[in-house]
Amino acid sequence: MSRKSPQDPGAGTAEDALRPLFDAFDNDGNGTLSYGELTDRMRLVGILDDDPRITGLLSSTGDRRTELGFEEFVALVRETSGLLRRVVRDDLAVPDFAALAADVDGLHEELCAERGGAVADYIPQLAEVDPELFAIGVCSVDGQRHLVGDAHEPFCVQSVSKTVNYCLALDENGLWGTHEHVGWEPSGRSFNELALNPQGRPHNPMINAGAIMSASLIRPESSAADRFGHVAETWQRLAAGRRVGFSNSTYLSERDTADRNFALAYSMREQEAFPEGTDLQRTLEFYFQCCSIELDADMLAIVAASFANGGVCPLTGERVFSVDTVQHCLSLMTSCGMYDYSGEFAFSIGLPAKSGVSGALMIVIPQVMGICVWSPRLDEHGNCVRGVEFCRRFAQRYNVHPHDGSEVQSGKRDLGRRKDHTLVESALALCWAAGQGDLNEIRRLVASGADPDAADYDGRTPLHLAAGEGRVDVVKYLLNRGVRVAPRDRWEGTPLSDAQRSGHQETVDVLRAAGHPAEAVTTASSARGRSRASSRTRVATGTRKAAKRPTGTAVAG
Ligand code: GLN
């Protein structure tokens, strides 16, 4: 294979690399693309119109019938090209999303007939909720979403808040600093049982006593307003920036009827389980407020997907919790998330899940997707009846149980492929996105662990690609992430020489300001006479070939 110099701006361009994308979306092959063609294709794989990754693109394309030529397409898709590319390459977490959506719709319809259980009434405000409300939301770790039923009706998270509060307690106090105050064994008792473990600590953070303890560990020195704001903002980040609500009436109603939770708190104080100086009244009020945070099924599915995605929100690429924090939380959700039904749920379904007395149920399929089922009628354990039944039927159709020997289990379907991309694939995807200027895709890849400083088999780094295309924002982002300022590719080219050659003065200035040595320019300019094809073409078309090369030689630090 002949080696091409990356230095010639006159050959293939980053725009050329978008041609296959355009063609793939141009269903009728007429050389133009309508807003409708674009959104229909995206919707088919679960990328909905309100997805923050494409809202900019869609609002600029305007009316459903607006036709885009290739030039207009190129001008519009920069920040979305990585996602579009994964759509056309069929490289999303749930490949057959349409089949999954149809199954979810079918299960919703079947379960509407299920009217067992009763709405929680020990918190008076909850007793007033319409028992017929029923929603299911799913969101994959690539942000493919499907919603059915009352998916935009708000509900209180109640005990589902125990997951987020536990994660916040871990982030602030560390594993041992947290578990000095709370255990990790299932209690085998109901969620508000007056019982502590033999050390006088709550059994785990997924029941009331443990969640009151988590609340006491979150910013205890701050004002009530700051503590609540911190928790609400965390939910918001997990839910792709959507604003969370708060049901003041539920909060007041619970606070006024909270003898059991007060009793739990006093018994923990008697055992000196709380951190020194804990104010019980303030802690309990904070705990009740967290339970009264409102989301809808769409948002809770996105939150569940953020947990499935190791703490990174799939729609924004933002890391909210560390991988370790999420792993700890999912472990406890698996063993303790369904109260005194946790053992049977772990046995038959095997997935981390957390229920709340509002009828909310959050289910996580690690590395694949998150699910929310919301239906207010509860069984005797306090779990949503339709939610538990949904899980049972879902696990009969898909091999989601972690101990399901799928090869021998005939008749069960594979839900998705696990997102365990190799270092080579993520390095090449980063280079591609850098050349296109798709900062969203770059943030997503970096948040999922891709090294922004890794080079392809020609020694080309994302910084080379971004600099050569004059993607100033990307160059600044990469420099802020601490990548090497002047890496050399196999032709001795540096980002600065690439930027200079293509006449991107602003990029040159940014690189110089970041300390790029001037001598590199001279060295790189000697590459001019080499063979004449652009790196932009090479990187775009070379990804598959490169991925096949042996790992050790393809990616350098
Ligand atoms: N706020 C509720 C309580 O403390 C939460 C319980 C639950 O959802 N299981 O009683």
State the Cα angle at 244 between 240 and 248, rounded to 5°: 170
CA of 208 to the centre of ligand 1 (A): 7
For residues 133 and 261, state if they share a domain: yes
* Domain end among 357, 378, 408: 408
For residues 459 and 388, state if they share a domain: no
Pocket test for ligand 1, best of 300, 357, 374 (most atoms within 8 A of CB): 357
**Going along 36-91, which residue ranges are E strands?**
67-68
- Ligand 1 atom with least separation from CA of 211: 4
Residue 446 structural domain: 426-540
For residues 430 and 330, state if they share a domain: no
For residues 397 and 457, state if they share a domain: no
Q: What is the pLDDT of residue 73?
A: 84
- Token pair 């609540």 is at which residue? 228
Residue 254 assigned ligand-binding role = yes
| Cα separation, 138 vs 155, whole angstroms | 17
For residue 315, what is the domain's CATH number? Answer: 3.40.710.10
In a domain, 311, yes or no: yes
Confirm whether pTM is higher than 0.85: no
Residue closest by Cα to atom 6 of ligand 1: 159
For residues 141 and 238, state if they share a domain: yes
CA of 291 to the centre of ligand 1 (A): 7
| Cα separation, 77 vs 92, whole angstroms | 18
Picking from 346, 210, 367, 335, the residue whose alpha carbon sits closest to that of residue 283 is 210
Cβ atoms 306, 369 nearer than 8 A: no
* Domain end among 33, 56, 88: 88
For residues 188 and 221, state if they share a domain: yes
Picking from 420, 422, 424, 419, the residue whose alpha carbon sits closest to that of residue 557 is 424
Residue 204 assigned ligand-binding role = no
Q: Which token pair is 91?
A: 């490289």
Residue 261 assigned ligand-binding role = yes
Q: Which long-range contacts (CB under 8 A, 24 or more apart) does 482-488 make?
A: 482/453, 483/452, 483/453, 484/453, 485/511, 485/514, 485/515, 485/516, 486/516, 486/517, 486/520, 487/453, 487/455, 487/459, 487/461, 487/463, 488/459, 488/520, 488/523
Residue 331 assigned ligand-binding role = no
Picking from 123, 161, 122, 173, the residue whose alpha carbon sits closest to that of residue 278 is 173
CA of 288 to the centre of ligand 1 (A): 8
Q: What is the pLDDT of residue 12?
A: 58
Q: What is the pLDDT of residue 434?
A: 93
Q: Which token pair is 46?
A: 């679960």
For residues 403 and 437, state if they share a domain: no
Question: How many independent structural domains does the chain possess?
Answer: 3
For residues 20 and 157, state if they share a domain: no
Q: What is the pLDDT of residue 517?
A: 82
DSSP state of 384: B
pLDDT block averages, 10 residues each, the chain of length 557: 39 74 80 82 91 79 74 82 84 91 97 96 91 97 97 98 98 97 92 90 97 98 97 98 97 94 97 96 98 98 97 95 97 96 96 97 96 97 97 93 68 66 76 89 82 88 94 94 92 93 93 80 40 34 30 29
